[in-house]
Amino acid sequence: MHWIDGHLDLAYLAICGRDLTKPVDDPNIGCISLPAMREAQISLAFGTIFTDPDPSHPASYAGSEDVAGAEAAGRVQIAVYKHLDEAGEIRLVRGADELDLPGAEPKIIILMEGADPIGTPDDLPSWHEAGVRMIGLAWAAGSRYAGGNNSEGGLTVAGRDLVRAMDELGVIHDASHLNDASFDDLMESARGRIVATHSNCRALTKDSQRMLRDDQIKAIADRDGIVGLNLYGPQLVDDRRATIADCVAHVERVCELMGHKRGTALGSDMDGGFGPPQLPQGLEHPSRLIALAEALRDAGWSDGEVEGFCHANWMRFLRGAMPGHQ
């Protein structure tokens, strides 16, 4: 069984000092590395460009108005992916025609998580040329373009312009981390494809804009989108350690709301600002993802439906959403 993971902060981990080409020594500190991905048969992942105005983070900049600082923080992470690609450690995917290229190295689609590094919508083509194929307009704190899940306000005028520019280039919209107002504005404004790469069900955990309302999940389904299961424990269940059963509950609720099993997949966010102890019990390492597949089978899923969750649903979406390599 191989996997597509819809959300991994690979470049951010690298600039924090992790050598992605070697396994992580301490299983309590982290679990994500390129060897771990190969061991788990993660054949493709969405690797993020994650930047944050919090000065305590290595990828920081001095707020949304620090356009130059935000761009510099993003370009450093683009350089990480370029280096790994040139070294043969990964293969960057720029178009649908590259999804099935042979090779043992993990394929990576670059996802920008928070759009502040894009100075203006007119700058999007340069980021697209560098490999960016998916963009979430905001992270938690919000951006010049949209309100994030810990901030107020919907899409700004510049945000609507950036949405149009993304649609023109065929860049996929990621709705994870948008607040409710920005989510609604995106659904109204965007003509291109929309996913939530790493979001769970608000109805099954705390009432937070970080998770999706039932009607938002239905709206993504109406656009033939995907909701990726986030494995961060506190976004699966409140007040206790999350379990694989909690993961199954979120996945099955998404499927019930969508009316089918084609719109659910993995967006693990492993090591995304938290360590293995905050992952569900039994899923502390990518190699253990097989237990999640087995749990879905135990819940009555067919082999084909399990393969859909593991990789085929993301692949079907990407083949339809990504233009050829330009």
Could you report the per-residue pLDDT of 238-257, keeping only the tens digit for each? 999 999 999 999 999 999 99
- Is a pLDDT exceeding 90 seen at residue 323? no
Specify the pLDDT at position 206. 85
Residue whose pair of structure tokens reads 């690979």 in the numeric block: 10
DSSP-derived secondary structure for 223-269? TT--EEEP--GGGT-SSS--BHHHHHHHHHHHHHHHTSSTTEEE---
pLDDT band at 53 (very low <50, low <70, confident <90, very high): confident
* Spatial distance between the Cα atoms of 73 and 150, rounded to a whole number of angstroms: 21
Mean pLDDT (whole number) for 130-144: 97
Neighbours of 187 (CB within 10 A): 17
Q: What percent of the chain has pLDDT over 90?
A: 92
In order, the DSSP letters of 287-300 are GGHHHHHHHHHHTT
Handedness of CA 78, 143, 219, 309 (dihedral sign): positive
To which residue do tokens 């894009």 refer? 118
CATH architecture assignment, domain 3-321: Alpha-Beta Barrel (3.20)
Burial class (CB in 10 A: 0-12, 13-18, 19+), 201: buried
pLDDT score for 171: 98
pLDDT at 169: 97
The bridge status of strand 107-113 relative to strand 91-92 is parallel
Whole-number pLDDT of residue 325: 65
58 or 30, greater pLDDT: 30
Which pLDDT does position 30 carry in this prediction? 98
Q: What is the mean predicted confidence (pLDDT) over 194-223?
A: 97
